[in-house]
């Protein structure tokens, strides 16, 4: 039984050689086709570095309450567009308005003690022109005149020595009183300066009840509602700026050498994004000064203009143009693809000959030939359904 199966198998096995010959004969039997040839040319192709990354907001800020209080109003919600300087929330300002009034009254009192009632807060104070100093100065002048008169009378023998001694003592007290008055004025000036600072602080706290956005953007998160009591530093809203977006990429050391600020970046949305496959062009904006010691990668950042369809957090594929190089190229139509392999067709002795090739990058209609052809060689420009061994003739002028 085994012998019978062996003979049957031997009798039914096809022979590969006859099939090849049949294919060659079929190609030869086809009518002779006219073909055009093209040269393998040296062309300028851009060099690209490809890497994946995640888009991030260009800026993200958390707006917080600078002063404690109850939320009087909030003007934005999730996704609200805001402009720089726009009011997004308001802390109830009643207590802070009263604080400004109190500080203003205390300053007015301090200035009144200096004789500056109703005058500008920044007016320069002349110490000798203040009432208390002018009064002490007048007392001193009177004491000096009295001492001089007693001195003259004593010299003429018209006044006892005791009165001269008393006059001199009064003069000394008047001089000390003037110095004390000047010191008192300086203390009052310092107190007035303190009251001015208190008023400025009160006004600033009143101003801080209004919470404004420092950037243009959109509300990412709203943390509070109207009526809530907030402590100082409590979060109110998060605002993000999404145009441009910031793309952070970690390039392997071997690919990082040619990357520099100003180079073009082509970003393509990946995954299940609504516009997956759409491309946006950006530019390399920042390059880290050194490699990461652990990952041996270089961190770069690119600014990506947002057409409106991109969002922070999108996963994207990025291609960075790092330069140009001259490489052998053929037109895209000269390539034939079969089972994942690339080949071109050439003419040898009037018949078609297949030549396998390895392709690289492309630019427009030109495709790089990495291996298999050299510049100047001729290939069939539009092979169509031509087969190995088929007879062909060159078009006129070839």
State whether 198 and 132 are in the same domain: yes
**pLDDT value at position 8?**
35
Enclosing domain of residue 272: 49-57+243-324
Domain boundary among 154, 188, 206: 206
For the stretch 47-78, pLDDT in tens is 778 888 899 999 999 999 999 999 999 999 99
Q: Is residue 167 part of a domain?
A: yes
**Please, are residues 335 and 367 in contact by the beta-carbon 8 Å criterion?**
yes
State whether 292 and 354 are in the same domain: no
Q: Which residues of the chain have pLDDT under 50?
A: 1-22, 119-121, 272-274
**pLDDT value at position 49?**
83
State whether 101 and 137 are in the same domain: yes
Quote the tokens at residue 381: 């420009």
Domain boundary among 324, 342, 370: 324
- The domain that contains 317 carries what CATH number? 2.40.30.170
**Please, are residues 84 and 216 in contact by the beta-carbon 8 Å criterion?**
yes
DSSP E strand stretches across the chain: 33-35, 37-39, 41-64, 69-74, 81-82, 87-91, 210-212, 217-222, 229-230, 235-252, 264-269, 279-287, 297-304, 315-331, 336-338, 341-348, 351-363, 366-371, 378-380, 392-394
Q: Is residue 64 part of a domain?
A: no
Q: Is residue 224 part of a domain?
A: no
**pLDDT value at position 9?**
37
Torsion sign (Cα): 375, 378, 384, 389 = negative
State whether 119 and 197 are in the same domain: yes
State whether 252 and 353 are in the same domain: no
Q: What is the Cα–Cα distance from 213 to 197, expressed in whole angstroms? A: 27
State whether 344 and 303 are in the same domain: no
State whether 127 and 191 are in the same domain: yes
Domain boundary among 308, 324, 340: 324
**pLDDT value at position 304?**
93
- The domain that contains 366 carries what CATH number? 2.40.420.20
If you write DSSP's letter for every residue of 184-243 in order, what string do you get? Answer: HHHHHHHHHHHHHHHHHHHHHHHHTTEEE-SSSEEEEEE---TT-EE-TT-EEEEEEEEE
Q: Is residue 99 part of a domain?
A: yes
**pLDDT value at position 239?**
96
State whether 345 and 378 are in the same domain: yes
**pLDDT value at position 324?**
75
State whether 122 and 179 are in the same domain: yes
Overall domain count for the chain: 3
**Please, are residues 244 and 311 in contact by the beta-carbon 8 Å criterion?**
no
Q: Is residue 238 part of a domain?
A: no
State whether 316 and 331 are in the same domain: no
State whether 253 and 317 are in the same domain: yes
**Local structure of 360: helix, strand or coil:** strand
State whether 381 and 313 are in the same domain: no
Q: Is residue 231 part of a domain?
A: no
Q: Is residue 16 part of a domain?
A: no
Tokens 């919470």 locate to: 211
> What global pTM score does this model have?
0.61
Tokens 């030109």 locate to: 366
Quote the tokens at residue 361: 């990058």
Q: Is residue 378 part of a domain?
A: yes
């Amino acid at each position: 039984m085994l012998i019978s199966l062996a003979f049957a198998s031997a009798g039914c096995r096809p022979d590969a050689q006859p099939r090849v010959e049949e294919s060659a004969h079929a190609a030869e039997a086809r009518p002779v086709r006219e073909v055009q040839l093209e040269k393998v040319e040296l062309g300028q192709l851009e060099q690209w570095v490809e890497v994946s990354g995640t888009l991030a907001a260009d800026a993200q800020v958390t707006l917080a309450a600078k002063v404690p209080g109850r939320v009087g109003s909030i003007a934005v919600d999730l996704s609200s567009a805001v402009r720089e300087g726009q009011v997004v929330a308001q802390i109830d300002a009643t207590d802070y308005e009263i604080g400004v009034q109190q500080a203003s009254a205390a300053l007015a009192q301090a200035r009144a003690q200096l004789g500056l009632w109703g005058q500008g807060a920044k007016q320069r104070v002349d110490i000798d022109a203040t009432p208390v100093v002018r009064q002490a100065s007048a007392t001193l002048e009177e004491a000096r005149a009295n001492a001089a008169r007693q001195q003259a009378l004593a010299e003429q023998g018209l006044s006892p020595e005791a009165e001269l001694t008393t006059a001199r003592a009064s003069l000394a007290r008047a001089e000390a009183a003037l110095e004390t008055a000047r010191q008192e004025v300086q203390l009052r000036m310092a107190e007035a300066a303190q009251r001015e600072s208190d008023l400025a602080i009160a006004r600033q706290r009143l101003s801080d009840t209004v919470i404004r956005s420092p950037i243009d953007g959109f509300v990412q998160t709203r943390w509070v509602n109207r009526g809530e009591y907030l402590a100082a530093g409590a979060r109110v809203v998060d605002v993000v700026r999404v145009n441009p977006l910031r793309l952070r990429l970690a390039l392997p050391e071997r690919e990082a050498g040619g990357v520099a600020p100003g180079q073009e970046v082509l970003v393509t949305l990946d995954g299940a994004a609504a516009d997956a496959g759409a491309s946006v062009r950006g530019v390399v904006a920042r390059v880290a000064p050194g490699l990461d010691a652990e990952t041996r990668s270089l961190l770069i950042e690119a600014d990506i203009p947002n057409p409106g369809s991109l969002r922070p957090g999108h996963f994207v594929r990025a291609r960075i143009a790092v330069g140009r190089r001259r490489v052998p190229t053929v037109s895209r139509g000269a390539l034939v693809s079969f089972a994942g392999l690339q080949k071109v067709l050439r003419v040898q002795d009037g018949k078609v000959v297949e030549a396998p090739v390895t392709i690289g990058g492309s630019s427009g209609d030109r495709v790089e030939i990495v291996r298999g052809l050299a510049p100047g060689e001729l290939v069939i420009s539009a092979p169509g359904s031509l087969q190995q061994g088929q007879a062909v003739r060159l078009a006129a002028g070839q």
